Amino acid sequence: MNIHYKNTIIKTNHHVYEPAEDSFLLAEAALDQIKGSERILEVGCGSGIISAVIKNNTGARVTGIDINPYAAACTRDNGVEAIRGDLLNCIRGKFDIIIFNPPYLPTDESERTKDWINIALDGGSDGRQIINRFLEDAGSYLVDNGRILMLLSSFTGIEKVKSKMKSLGYEIEEKNTERISFEQLLVIAATKIR
């Protein structure tokens, strides 16, 4: 299937999270934040829609990373450099902006499946397991005054995530928000205080 969005055609496949409202909300926020030739890392790049939209609409240099080998390949097929890896474990260097649409759905053991789509959605029992792992390491990969641009859901406990970020030394600014059915989506920009 192909998706047409913001001067970009995105190819997807059934092993990769299909772009939805959260993807588009985060892509819009990214375009608003990028001002020049910043170095961007998209963690959990999935189909590569956000990275490809950034590449096609800004002067930024963007790289994607995903644990799902099909997602990394899909992102490359959509014209963006991508590697396979678990969060930041194989990244070198520092970035101006790290973008993350995390797996945020609270998931208990009985709900887990063994497919790649589950990995894209499963945020652990409280929805914050992957988010917390990411936040513990992300500051080491940001330049001075670098930012994290991350999507959060009301299912995850937005205030708890914001509290965690503040405890790690981030200043937080709310960006785009959208209500979808029983869920509130919010994009936050977090700057590491040095």
Q: In a structure prediction context, what are the per-residue pLDDT tens digits for the chain, which is 194 residues long?
A: 788 888 888 888 888 888 889 899 999 999 999 988 999 999 999 999 999 999 999 999 999 999 999 999 999 999 999 999 999 988 999 999 999 999 866 666 766 667 666 666 555 668 788 899 999 999 999 999 999 999 998 988 899 999 999 999 999 999 988 898 888 999 999 998 76
The Cα 139–Cα 148 span in angstroms is 9
Where are the domains positioned within the chain? 2-149
Per-residue pLDDT, 120: 61
The fourth-level CATH superfamily of domain 2-149 is: Vaccinia Virus protein VP39 (3.40.50.150)
Position 80 scores a pLDDT of: 96
The pLDDT assigned to 2 comes to 86
Report the pLDDT value the prediction gives residue 14, as an integer from 0 to 100: 83
Question: At residue 71, what are phi and psi to the nearest 5 degrees?
Answer: -70, -45
